[in-house]
């Protein structure tokens, strides 16, 4: 097998892998959009996000006690931002 032929095979393989990844991403996107139409899925996702914000804020306490002030502040601010964004989303985008 010549070097040119090998390069051509490798290029074709890369193209087919890229197309496969795009197909999988499209299918995943469609399934997520389909699932998001159901209220229990939205409720679980919102609950998980709120809990994530609370966990970040609570995790700041032991970090402060260990003297890791920067990381504790990052956790606290991140938790506050997550909860504030979720509350704003609930207020702005009310579903009937």
Q: Are residues 47 and 28 in the same domain?
A: no
Q: Are residues 29 and 15 in the same domain?
A: yes
Q: For residues 6-20, give the mean pLDDT.
A: 71
Residue 94: pLDDT over 80? no
- 33 & 67 share domain: no
Is 89's pLDDT higher than 70?
A: yes
Question: Model confidence over 37-71: pLDDT tens digits?
Answer: 888 888 898 999 999 999 999 999 999 999 999 99
Residue that wins the pLDDT comparison between 7 and 29: 29
Q: Could you tell me the residue range of the domain that residue 12 belongs to?
A: 1-37
Do 76 and 62 lie in one domain? The reply is yes
The pLDDT, as a whole number, for residue 85 is 94
Task: Write down the pTM of the prediction.
Answer: 0.63
Residues 84 and 64 in one domain: yes
Rounded Cα–Cα distance for residues 30 and 6 (Å): 36
Average pLDDT over the chain reads 85
My answer on whether 95 and 81 are in the same domain is yes
**Spatial distance between the Cα atoms of 8 and 11, rounded to a whole number of angstroms:** 5
Whether 13 and 44 map to the same domain: the answer is: no
Same domain, 31 and 49: no
């Amino acid at each position: 097998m010549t070097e040119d032929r090998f390069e051509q095979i490798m290029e074709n393989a890369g193209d087919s892998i890229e197309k496969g990844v795009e197909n999988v991403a499209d299918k995943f996107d469609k399934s997520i959009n389909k699932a998001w139409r159901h209220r229990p899925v939205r409720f679980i996702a919102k609950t998980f996000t709120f809990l994530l914000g609370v966990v970040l804020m609570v995790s700041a306490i032991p970090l402060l006690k260990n003297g890791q002030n920067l990381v504790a502040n990052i956790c606290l601010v991140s938790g506050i931002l997550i909860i504030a964004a979720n509350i704003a989303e609930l207020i702005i985008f009310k579903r009937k």
